[in-house]
Amino acid sequence: MSIYCLGEEKSLKQGVPDDLLSWSGGSSHSFPFAASTCCPVLSGVVSSFGDTTGGSMTAASSSFSYLGTSSVDALGHENKLESTYLYIQMEYCPRTLRQVFESYSHFDKELAWHWFRQIVEGLAHIHGQGIIHRDLTPNNIFFDARNDIKIGDFGLAKFLKLEQLDQDPGYPSDTAGVSLDGTGQVGTYFYTAPEIEQGWPKIDEKADMYSLGVVFFQLWHPFGTAMERHIVLNDLKQKGELPPSWVAEFPEQESLLRRLMSPSPSDRPSATELLQHAFPPRMESELLDNILRTMQTSEDRSTYEKVVNAIFDEDMLSIKDLHRHAGRPRLAGDETSIQYTDLDTEVRDYVVEVTREVFKQHCAKHLEIVPMRLLDDFPQFNRNTVKLLTHGGDKLELCRELRLPFVSWVISHQKSSFKRYEISCVYRRAIGHSPPNRYLQGDFDVIGGASALTEAEVIKVTMDIIAQFFNADSCDIHLNHVDLLDAIWSWIGVKAEHRQKVAELLLMMGSLRPQSSERKSKWVVIRRQLLQELNLAEAVVNRLQTVSLRFCGAADQALPRLRGALPADKPTRKALDELSDLCSYLRIWRIEKHVYIDALMPPTESYHRDLFFQVYLIKENNPGSLIDGALLAAGGRYDYLLHQLWGHEYKTSPPGAVGTSLALETIIQHSSIDFKPTRIDSSTIILVCSRGGGGLLVERMELVAELWKENIKAEFVPAPDPSLTEQYEYANEHDIKCLVILTDTDVSQTGSVKVRHLELRKEKKVEREILVRFLLAAMATQFRNPSIWN
């Protein structure tokens, strides 16, 4: 059983990562990540040198660290064989909620509400971290020594993923069976939500709310025998029937129970909604509500400013920081300052350089986007941004995408024809209390020009960049048009209020190639969820399936079928004509393989109102890829956005606009092409060393500056008088193979230096005057031309 728990004692928090520590709460009834009757606390993975994955080693684990065999090398350093262990500290929880139910001799209404509130608060916290428990039962709800509730056993838990461009769109389906009143692969029978049992492809936190409903019922209905419990819970599960006497006595609870156990997940309340509306307000909640009302209605900003000042109060922040880092050194295990290793950075630099060169080939100009801006009345097409608060109470948002700021620039400068590119990071909200996630992205935009032709150029740019890192057959291009999608919705008969939900479900097969066997098999589970959750008519779902299986596919096959099936109204004809023109232009540029019309694909951004596209990496043609169906790029026309923001004071009409956004982060993660780094190979980095002469610091500094001037990468040990051994160790640590060694005698008398290559074990005395010329010639052959050493 996978169990992770955090206690409130400081000694138990040592060595635990910050994101886990934040789950333990700070109130008198906190909700750790998990618990057990003997509840372990994850302290970290401890190596033989006492390092842990979360920081400093706990007192308990330090007593058991083990050093393996050791040996001594030629320099006298002891080499120790590291042994790694996982140490788990246990917190004793005397009983479970199931044990309480079995001895439920006296029903206490106030206690039932108290326990229910604690469970709901725990679920709200868990869901706030992006976690679905999926097995919430009385057996997995524990009471600690203070009689406070803790939720445990996360063996079936899953993470929800926040929306991001680099997120892979597929969702794994849960189709395993369940056992009668026993824990199977997807939960415990009486508590398992219908969507899990029926194998819906998309499961969210509402599955836990169904389980909560069954627990809630048992809090308010004690059972005399195990058989009575089985019969009543079975009737509730199978028929939705409740004991009439219980319904008559507890009508309010019955209403809440019906909502929690609704067959449709969308009808169930969230844990946060329950906390806001299902419980009598506490005194502190009423006081807070009064403060918030004053902030919203009063023209006097003093209340608002007091709240902001309290948030930024240094004493309060210090206390919070102490709680966060309790029991361990402040900087221990802190890897947040350095996100990438030197090799990772090198790879990213290479990808950025390749992307920039392709953008420049198409005469695009670089416009740098400010990474944050004041949150004002500027229209927002996606409110799911990372928001910050300044000390002055102003709200900022980090850049979620790179297009809206550019559009604002185009409008203010009244550009009618322009090409731009930007390579920068975009930000997404992280789970829990972690800093925002950032992802490298490249944008290319064309303002003005003819529709379909500019789309073709944007796709050409996209594919030229992707081709630098993936095989030609590794990617699929999916095309669609918003007018075509609207015509499809109308032809199928999907009502406007259902279209967003239907589109979300269809996204789960968006990365799958049209007409593929994988997409056809995925339709089985999607069809089930469309019928059961959205209650769509079977005729509507049949037409949806017809469009997916017949009207999506290669352009030369899909377009004629769409023309024959859909009404020949003007918007539909225009959409089909533009798609046909786009495919013709792409063929001129030899982009014709793996180009598909995907008529049910929704647009990536709400401002895409004409042609749009998505490019996916297909695993079957790219064995190095870790995940099937990775989204590499998305783009489309956004004339609508310019029309929306174009002010009436401008006499000219807004131009057309099209752009692409490349998920460079995904390209870096999935690329399996063995490319050459952009920097000089590590063997051509020069370490300027000294032997004797008091360290020859001035001479070393002068020589390294001369090498820098000639664009040769060089460095020296930053110490006044390092020993030769220390300089060799520095070279080994930084993977430097070539040394230029200065000696007092050679510098003052012979005017020469020694060039030594550690890997090739070659050495040559070179005159100081020709050193640069020698190094440049040697680096051209990676020092492997034998003649240079003669």
**How far apart (Å, rounded) are the C-alpha atoms in residues 118 and 97?**
12
- Alpha-carbon distances, residue 465 vs 120, 584, 688 (angstroms): 49, 21, 39
CATH number of 342-670: 3.30.930.10
Same fold for the pair 96-277 and 682-789:
no
Q: What is the pLDDT of residue 722?
A: 93
Contact indicator for 263, 210 with CB cutoff of 8 Å: no
Whose structure tokens read 């610091």? Answer: 697
Q: What is the pLDDT of residue 517?
A: 85
Q: Which of 73, 108, 135, 639 is catalytic?
A: 135
**Residue 135: active-site member:** yes
Q: What angle do CA 196, 200, 205 make, to 5 degrees?
A: 60
Phi and psi dihedrals of 734, rounded to 5?
Answer: -100, 15
| Burial class of residue 525 in the structure, from the number of CB atoms within 10 Å of its CB (0-12 exposed, 13-18 middle, 19+ buried) | buried
- Could you tell me the mean pLDDT of each successive run of 10 residues in the chain, 790 residues long? 35 34 35 44 37 34 37 47 74 89 82 92 90 92 91 84 40 32 54 88 90 94 89 92 93 93 92 83 69 74 79 74 56 55 76 92 87 68 74 82 91 90 90 83 92 91 92 90 95 90 86 85 86 88 90 92 91 95 91 92 91 88 56 95 88 93 92 53 77 90 86 86 92 89 86 92 93 91 85
Tally Cβ neighbours within 10 Å of residue 459: 25
Where along the chain do its domains lie? 96-277, 342-670, 682-789
3-state SS, residue 564: helix
Number of H helices, E strands in the chain: 29, 28
Q: What is the pLDDT of residue 433?
A: 72
CATH class of domain segment(s) 96-277 = mainly alpha
Phi-psi region of 694 (alpha: psi -120 to 50; beta: other; left: phi over 0): left
Q: What is the pLDDT of residue 41?
A: 37
CATH number of 682-789: 3.40.50.800
Q: What is the pLDDT of residue 710?
A: 86
Q: What is the pLDDT of residue 175?
A: 32
Question: Which tens digits make up the pLDDT trace of 77-119?
Answer: 455 556 778 887 777 889 999 999 888 777 888 899 999 999 9
Sequential DSSP letters for 337-403: S--S-HHHHHHHHHHHHHHHHHHHHTT-EE-PPPSEEE--SS--S-----EEE-TTS-EEEE-S-SS
